[in-house]
Structures are given as C-alpha cells and as structure tokens.
Amino acid sequence: MAAQEILLEAFKQYGIQVLSVTGNHIKVQNNYEVEVEANGMYKLLDEGDIIAPFKDVNELCRYIVA
C-alpha cells in the first residue's frame, strides 16, 4: 500500500475529516495540510508553515486530533 493510501486509511480510523487531496498534499480539519513525501515521511503544515515531519502515521493522527 502506498504512503498516501495508508495515511488516508488512518484518517478514516481516527475520524479526521479530509477536505481535499491535490497530488501529494492532503488538507484536513483544524487547518492542517499533510505533504506525503516519496521517502514515506509525512510533513505536517499549518497555513504553509512546517510544524514537524512524521514517520509514524498514528503519531501524526494523534497530533491532529489533539
């Protein structure tokens, strides 16, 4: 399964609302955007500013819903 598909499935499991998917960018609730990188990393952005890179999808999801 590709990194983006894994992330979208995790969003469903955590109840995170996906607003849009454009290429490797996914906009979600709380004004966050996630950039899925080719190396399997997930870069969390808030209004274009990088918050942090995440390797663990669950950690990323927990951060978004907190």
Tens digit of pLDDT for each residue in 9-50?
999 999 999 999 999 999 999 999 999 998 889 999 999 899
Close Cβ partners of 48 (under 8 Å, ≥ 6 residues apart): 33
> pTM of the prediction?
0.91
Q: What type of residue sits at position 62?
A: R
Is pLDDT at 64 greater than 80 in this prediction?
A: yes
How many domains is the chain partitioned into structurally?
A: 1
**Domain, as residue range, for 25:** 3-65
Strand partners, 20: 27
| Tokens representing residue 19 in the block | 């607003």
| Tokens representing residue 17 in the block | 């609302």
Mean pLDDT value across residues 48-54? 95
C-alpha 10, offset from chain centre: 9
How high is the pLDDT of residue 7? 96
